[in-house]
Structure 1
Amino acid sequence: MGSIYFFFLFFLFFLRIELILAADTITPTRFIRDGETLVSSRESFELGFFSPGNSTKRYLGIWYKKSNKTVVWVANRNNPIIDRQGVLTISNYGNLVLLNTTNSIIWSSNTSRKVENPVAQLLDSGNLVLKDNFSEGSESYLWQSFDYPSDTLLPGMKLGWDLKTGVERYLTSWKSSDDPSYGDFTYRLDIHVLPQIFIYNGSTKLARTGPWNGVFFGGVHGSLNFVFEKTFVHNENEIYYRYESLNNPVIMLTKITHSGSFQRLIWKDRGSIWDFVFSAPHDLCDYYGKCSANGVCSIDKAPICECLQGFIPGSQQNQTSPTTCVRSSPLDCRSGDRFIKLTGLRLPDLVETSLNDTMSLQECESKCLKDCSCKAYANSNSSGGGRGCLMWSGDLIDIRKHVNESSGQDLYIRVPASEQVSDLNENRRRKIIVAVSVISGILIFFSLLFCIWKKITKKARLTTVQDNKEEEEDVNVHLFDLSTIATATNNFSRENLIGAGGFGPVYKGTLSTGEEVAVKRLSNNSGQGAEEFRNEVNLIAKLQHRNLVGLFGSCIQGEERLLIYEYMPNKSLDYFIFDQKKAGLLTWRRRFDIVMGIARGLLYLHQDSKLQIIHRDLKASNILLDNDLNPKISDFGLARIFRGDDKEATTKRVVGTYGYMSPEYTIDGTFSVKSDVFSFGVFLLEIISGKKNRGFSHPAHHHNLLGHAWLLWNETRALELIDSCLADSCVQSQVLRCVQVGLLCVQKFPDDRPAMSTVVFMLANKEAILAQPRQPGFFTERSSVEMHSTSRKAELHTDNSVTISTLEGR
């Protein structure tokens, strides 16, 4: 009896081992059907069949056990199964095969060697391996999924080349969130001259890291190095990059999305969400060749593009980006050229570049100087004090300047000897610049005093609206003839009408030069009159910023008053974000760029322009988009100038747009730079949510958009605010930061709101520590009667109607 009992226990023991093995392995006698899964030993990853998004097609994939929607590998990407009859098994030959309902092979590991005891196992690294059951170690793998990445790079995976077989391991995006077949974007290691990582759109370069310099890939220095350790291997057998988590419990991944964004994510157990900690392209300067040949991109400057020293714009594509930069004066190799050192750069792309990895920097300079075709040089390796020689013989393409210079490298550019400036001359030049700046400042100061005195005396002399002649004297911009504008707009035809605002109708026109313009025509019944007209002309004529709409001129003839602006082909922001069909055209990356542009534009108005300007009517419909979707603030008819030590002003005539005006302005008529900050906060929450604050009411709690956003923030559900069309393109950590900044901007009391300089800093720096927002203005719940009243107001103040309104405090 005892022996039978012992045999029974022995049988149960081996049965348990068999069941444990079955949880993460497949053998010739053990397979999985659709509906069954493999789970790795520590339950990190799971393998099974799934249908992505709204698709009904079935795919075999691997995903994180904690987040089954985060698929990291797909077997049959381009060959889905149309029903739920799929089976994953091992064939008689020893291959891992995926069969459909007719037992046809949909996908196979396609190994060339027959195995007697094959077994497939899902490892805790997320790697699916095929091996001989009696072999150990990764060298014995007959096949592994890590050699065939999909769109995701997991810790331990290799990105790069097997030099023996010629096999390249790289990421390929999904076609869409519902379709894991091969998309347009790839993320791969280029090993031409020096290794660097590229994002490609087809065969077109979209973005790059910069070359590996022995320490980091140029442009991404120090990114989250406290979370993961990066490894770069270059030997006779392979060249690859990989990363490992420094803290094993940290779950992380990097991926290329179907929209072309490369993202690094970390799993947060507390909220059961992925935190987007890094993305690329991150800003406009990340886009390949943004500033064209021999130009440098600096995201903290306006405009962001400028030619390298020794170069000038050869031709101009638009106001912000030269098509190419050419030598300001030709090189003279025989007479002797010199080199100018530029610091903190992402080095140019390695086009027409040679490498000698044994030279010192001094030897590199000497060699480049003797070679008349050499245009620039740099160290190829930054480790150990620097060594190696990179020399460029062609155009210098895709250079960016880093805000933090320690993140970049030094580049030495060849210039004629006459352009080389010695230290002594440089100091002298700086002193001259300072002296000229001081003198210019004094002259500007007295000029402003004279202008103010002239305006005060003129105002005291006039008691009625100035006549046309006086208006012309007050306008310091180009004056167009009415006939010229009438011809340009086809006599203000309805076919040329492109919009309307508080000023009046807006027409598209084409001047005799072929240049397209937008013409604003003061309507007879407009709430704005001659004062607003002169105000807008004089203000915009003085303002120069890439995120402010450009004024070409005006027209004053008889009763006609016209403003002629640069034409914005993509209309206004509200045209996109409040339309369900068009909202998807603006990805999160594009929306964030728009937010940053508007923030910088407001900062210029409040702080960096010669006059401190309060816009007073910032809203989505007053943000115009140019051909490249760059944002520009428009409609300065209601703007006001603050002079001297003015901090705020009070008016009995409250003007603006309901839903964007701050509480202190709406109720008391008090406005300041913090009024614009409030409007910016409303705009920021609108661009995130795709919802208008004016007229918004949540069915559960009846708060407006500001109150709804604040409630979600306090319940740690702020991501629910985001427009559904942004789900696939958004960077969640960036969205959360934007929501927090938006709520800080719309706080009830002006003193609690940040200045625009702080707003720009908080948005641009993910390391910045942000305060917790307090209750926003106009947060209180509204009764059904009040909601009906608000709805009535919304009807009276449509986007195309006059935006001036006089409100009484309640």
Structure 2
Amino acid sequence: MIDRNIIIELIILLFLSSHSRTCIARDTLSLNQSIVDGQTLVSSNGTFELGFFTPGNSKARYLGMWYKNLTPLTIVWVANRETPLSKNSGVLKLNENGVLVILNDTNNSIWSSNTTTKEAKNSITAQLLDTGNLVLKNGEENILWQSFDYPCDTLLPGMKLGWNLVTGLNRFESSWKSEDNPAKGDYSVSIDIRGYPQIVLKEGSVIRLRIGSWNGLGFTGYPTQPLKQTQKFEFVQTDKEVYHRYEVVDSSVVSIYKLSPSGKLRALAWTSETSDRIVIETGMEDSCDSYAMCGANSVCSMNGNVPKCECLKGYVPKFPDQWNISYWSNGCVSKNKSNCDNSYKDGFLKYNDIKLPDTSSSWYNKSMSLVECQRGCMKNCSCKAYANVDIRNGGSGCLLWFDDLVDMRMFSQWGQDLYIRVPSSDLDDVSVSGKGNKKKHIIQITFGVTISGFLTCACIIILIKRVEPRIYNLGQLFQLRQKYFKLKKEDSDLPIFDFPMIVKATSNFCSRNKLGEGGFGPVYKGTLIDGKEVAIKRNSKMSDQGLQEFKNEVLLIAKLQHRNLVKLLGCCIHKEENLLIYEYMPNRSLDYFIFDESRSKLLTWSHRSCIIDGIARGLLYLHQDSRLRIIHRDLKSSNILLDGQMNPKISDFGLARTFGGDQVEAKTRKLVGTYGYMPPEYVVHGRYSMKSDVFSFGVIVLEIISGNKITGFYDPEHSLNLVGHAWRLWIEHIPLELVDAQLLQTIRSSEILRYIHVGLLCVQEKPEDRPDMSSAILMLNGEKILSQPKSPGFYTGKDLPEAISPSSNQMSVTIFEAR
């Protein structure tokens, strides 16, 4: 007989455990509420669960999300993927500031939602929605932060893959490092917004698979889509955002897209009949799916399990010997040299059921018809091919290609029609789109008459260009042209842009396209004929830098290639006009963000530390790794440009100088640069070296951490500028008071203290005390012991002249001094 007391105890335990599960199985956290390791949040309909877990054979703990009732356990999102917990003592808390944080066993934050708001915080809640989206919201509609904006390796229904063009947020999938480690791995799936947007799978920065662009019915690189009947796809492109997402329309099916650590993109599906998981490969099904398998201007097709590459009509293998042994990666080239004089005789050959070429350098118009598209391509002798943007309802929109046609393959069905430009001689024995030769000749005659007018104008322009150097004989310009053509001989990849093309790209240098003003002159945004956006520096007659600096930029940047240096695309010399054409940076410059109260909120510590690291890598390349040893001499926040992903790129090399192999220092009587960023030995004695750039880098580090500008900050109580202020806080053992208040809730103190420490080491008064950039990078990464910094240069702020710098109505200064 069972003891009555034991029965009572069992009933009490069952009640308590049931009551405990009821309390924990909630979907919402209010201010100062939390869950500990072992507890979870569950969405209201029971689909998703959020809690701490250990992946695979790892011993680390992570906060993650998974489907509650599906097997096997499938993690769809991880919060602290880069900062695991070592013990089962993690806490997820919505703190008093309305920020979600993960706390470790010492109560330190190792991850946060990194949100700030001026709204009333007592109404902020965190909720796990039935869609699998963890949101921070103020009220029902005002979402402050959401996990859907930060995908991991899984794309869920309703989640956007793509860009917010206003904030620069890029939502992309990134693989785990391994099955046991959810940190960011080598592979990613994202939308490439260059040209016409397309989905690509990359290994690092290298494209491995191109799923392609959206044509209204499917993706051009993956038209079959086994789950198409159970899903509804959507592609949205506006001036504010570009994204793709899908919804599941069959409620009996659960389906997600997951990127494996090995780079396999798979669709995972569960049905109501079974809880077992179905795995469907969505790419790399055969060799032809590999990006640019056959090189340029050729098409891949599968003969059984064996790939086969064929040159497009009118093209021949670039290297026939390699081609004949099935080494195809160098692709094909046109067998006829480009000749715009005869381009009006060209026609178009239709390829059916094809994967459209890479659209990253294409031009598009969504309102044009296919006939208008053909005419547009015919009018431009550089146009290689055209196709419809949207294939629904008979087709609409226009895609034009002007460069090599890359990454094409044949499908057995459901591919798209592509029209390839070929010389008339190659059309004699083929039909063009089923329309006979009569139609072709009519088109040729019609366009022949039109093009003849353009050819006449072209002849006149060519004549003027040949005569111009003889009649325009200014000494400096002649020397510059000589230097320029010498450069062209050395660097054949540097394009020459025609001035009329630049005028058209900038709408005749329209004021609305003006991005800013620098010492070199105004900078304009331009759009080339292929739709590519560029930044164009125009040398003004009153420019402080003038021809010498123009020549300096061309000769230096043309030889430099690094991901943290701005890329020079070409230049243009036309009479007194000297123009530089660069890659366009959509997020403008660093100073545009960090010194603006509202925009600076977009720069989290993660962004800021990555920017600092990128600048450091760019400087190391200039000082040590490039074929020239280059001293920038005008490094400042306005000369750090930011691309669409907030990656920094050093720009403006007009004042740069090169050093010989053993040279460590030079001296000048001409002082150039921007006050506040120049080291004392340069201002006082005219001496500059790599350590001059290190000083400027240190100033920028302190600016990024504090959010204050070197030339705009002054501490009246202690008569200190920003550098002196940082030094005072350091020696008084309160360095965290330097940190921008917007970062304080989301930073790891040890990490930001290390960055402050490195910044102060870089601004030390004596150049020999400053680290070189290779040491600075090791210090930033925590791989080298940091020495105690000594007193910086320009300790006080009273005698520091006010500077003027290029990007925000500033100008680099040039002063002659007798020293």
Output the TM-score relative to the length of structure 2. 0.51
Q: Deviations over 1:372-429 (max 9, x none)?
A: xxxxxxxxxxxxxxxxx998734489xxxxxxxxxxxxxxxxx98999xxxxxxxxxx
Query: What SS class does the counterpart of residue 806 from structure 1 fall into?
Result: strand
Pick closer, same or farther for the CA change 1:739–1:324 going to 2, 3 Å: same
* Aligned equivalent of 1:771: 787
Q: Residues of 1 paired with 2:687 and 2:568: CA distance? A: 29
* Aligned equivalent of 1:158: 39
Q: Deviations over 1:584-609 (max 9, x none)?
A: 23222222222222222222222222
Instruction: Give the superposition deviation at 1:739.
Output: 1.3
The answer to whether the 8 Å contact 2:631/2:693 transfers is yes
Pick closer, same or farther for the CA change 1:150–1:589 going to 2, 3 Å: same
The answer to whether the 8 Å contact 1:666/1:808 transfers is no
Q: Which of 783, 805, 813 is 1:804 aligned to?
A: 813
Q: Which of 484, 494, 506 is 1:472 aligned to?
A: 484
The answer to whether the 8 Å contact 1:498/1:506 transfers is yes
* Aligned equivalent of 1:552: 569
Instruction: Give the superposition deviation at 1:517.
Output: 1.6
The answer to whether the 8 Å contact 1:568/1:625 transfers is yes
Q: Deviations over 1:4-49 (max 9, x none)?
A: xxxxxxxxxxxxxxxxxxxxxxxxxxxxxxxxxxxxxxxxxxxxxx
Q: Which of 657, 661, 674 is 2:678 aligned to?
A: 661
Instruction: Give the superposition deviation at 1:540.
Output: 1.1
Q: Residues of 2 paired with 1:547 and 1:622: CA distance? A: 12
Instruction: Give the superposition deviation at 1:144.
Output: 7.4
* Aligned equivalent of 1:680: 697
Instruction: Give the superposition deviation at 1:797.
Output: 8.8
Q: Residues of 2 paired with 1:537 and 1:638: CA distance? A: 12
Q: Residues of 2 paired with 1:701 and 1:571: CA distance? A: 34
Q: Residues of 2 paired with 1:733 and 1:672: CA distance? A: 31
The answer to whether the 8 Å contact 1:526/1:802 transfers is no
The answer to whether the 8 Å contact 1:281/1:287 transfers is no
Residue 482 (str. 1) matches residue 499 (str. 2): yes
Letter in 1 for 2:107: I
* Aligned equivalent of 2:578: 561
Instruction: Give the superposition deviation at 1:685.
Output: 0.8
Q: Residues of 1 paired with 2:805 and 2:115: CA distance? A: 40
Moved more, 736-745 or 632-641: 736-745
Q: Which of 157, 163, 170 is 2:50 aligned to?
A: 170
Instruction: Give the superposition deviation at 1:698.
Output: 0.9
The answer to whether the 8 Å contact 1:293/1:395 transfers is no
The answer to whether the 8 Å contact 1:737/1:763 transfers is yes
Unaligned runs of 5+ in 1: 1-130, 173-185, 200-206, 210-218, 232-242, 261-279, 308-312, 331-344, 356-388, 398-414, 420-461
Query: Residues 363-512 of structure 1 correspond to what in structure 2 (within 5 A)?
Result: 393-395=281-283, 466-467=478-479, 469-476=481-488, 477-512=494-529
Instruction: Give the superposition deviation at 1:571.
Output: 1.5
* Aligned equivalent of 1:325: 209
Letter in 1 for 2:815: T
Q: Residues of 2 paired with 1:622 and 1:659: CA distance? A: 14
Letter in 2 for 1:150: L
Q: Which of 533, 547, 559 is 1:516 aligned to?
A: 533
Query: What SS class does the counterpart of residue 671 from structure 2 fall into?
Result: coil
Instruction: Give the superposition deviation at 1:808.
Output: 5.0
Moved more, 570-579 or 288-297: 288-297
Query: Residues 186-197 of structure 1 correspond to what in structure 2 (within 5 A)?
Result: 188-190=65-67, 195=73, 197=75
Query: What SS class does the counterpart of residue 741 from structure 1 fall into?
Result: helix
Instruction: Give the superposition deviation at 1:798.
Output: 8.8
Query: Residues 667-746 of structure 1 correspond to what in structure 2 (within 5 A)?
Result: 667-746=684-763
* Aligned equivalent of 1:751: 768
The answer to whether the 8 Å contact 1:710/1:775 transfers is yes
Letter in 2 for 1:352: A
Instruction: Give the superposition deviation at 1:536.
Output: 0.3
Q: Residues of 1 paired with 2:816 and 2:153: CA distance? A: 46
The answer to whether the 8 Å contact 1:197/1:208 transfers is no
Q: Deviations over 1:703-748 (max 9, x none)?
A: 1111111221233322221222334444433322221221121112
Q: Residues of 1 paired with 2:818 and 2:51: CA distance? A: 59
The answer to whether the 8 Å contact 1:684/1:742 transfers is yes
Q: Deviations over 1:436-487 (max 9, x none)?
A: xxxxxxxxxxxxxxxxxxxxxxxxxx99774354133133321222222122
Instruction: Give the superposition deviation at 1:675.
Output: 1.3
Instruction: Give the superposition deviation at 1:254.
Output: 5.8
* Aligned equivalent of 1:352: 267
The percentage of aligned residue pairs carrying the same residue is: 42
Residue 632 (str. 1) matches residue 649 (str. 2): yes
Structure possessing the higher radius of gyration over alpha carbons: 1
Q: Residues of 2 paired with 1:620 and 1:283: CA distance? A: 28
Q: Deviations over 1:146-170 (max 9, x none)?
A: 554738766544347799x958653
The answer to whether the 8 Å contact 2:79/2:111 transfers is no
Output the TM-score relative to the length of structure 1. 0.52
Query: What SS class does the counterpart of residue 759 from structure 1 fall into?
Result: helix
The answer to whether the 8 Å contact 1:554/1:562 transfers is yes
The answer to whether the 8 Å contact 2:724/2:797 transfers is no
Query: What SS class does the counterpart of residue 352 from structure 1 fall into?
Result: strand
Letter in 2 for 1:802: M
Residue 612 (str. 1) matches residue 629 (str. 2): yes
Query: What SS class does the counterpart of residue 526 from structure 2 fall into?
Result: strand
Pick closer, same or farther for the CA change 1:554–1:252 going to 2, 3 Å: closer
Q: Deviations over 1:193-225 (max 9, x none)?
A: 6546554xxxxxxx667xxxxxxxxx669x563
Query: Residues 217-366 of structure 1 correspond to what in structure 2 (within 5 A)?
Result: 223=84, 225=86, 250-252=106-108, 256-257=112-113, 259=115, 325-326=209-210, 346=261, 351-352=266-267
Query: What SS class does the counterpart of residue 716 from structure 1 fall into?
Result: coil
Pick closer, same or farther for the CA change 1:147–1:315 going to 2, 3 Å: closer
The answer to whether the 8 Å contact 1:284/1:593 transfers is no
* Aligned equivalent of 1:108: none
Q: Residues of 2 paired with 1:521 and 1:326: CA distance? A: 37
Instruction: Give the superposition deviation at 1:782.
Output: 4.9
Letter in 1 for 2:812: T
Pick closer, same or farther for the CA change 1:771–1:154 going to 2, 3 Å: farther
The answer to whether the 8 Å contact 1:155/1:244 transfers is no
Q: Residues of 1 paired with 2:538 and 2:797: CA distance? A: 39
Query: What SS class does the counterpart of residue 565 from structure 1 fall into?
Result: strand
The answer to whether the 8 Å contact 2:65/2:76 transfers is yes
Letter in 2 for 1:759: A
Pick closer, same or farther for the CA change 1:297–1:742 going to 2, 3 Å: farther
* Aligned equivalent of 1:60: none
Letter in 2 for 1:694: T
Query: What SS class does the counterpart of residue 778 from structure 1 fall into?
Result: coil
Unaligned runs of 5+ in 2: 1-8, 53-62, 92-101, 117-146, 156-160, 162-169, 179-184, 190-194, 212-220, 222-259, 271-276, 286-303, 309-473, 489-493
Query: What SS class does the counterpart of residue 805 from structure 1 fall into?
Result: strand
Q: Residues of 2 paired with 1:304 and 1:604: CA distance? A: 23
Q: Residues of 2 paired with 1:777 and 1:282: CA distance? A: 43
Q: Deviations over 1:487-526 (max 9, x none)?
A: 2222223232221111111112222222222111112222
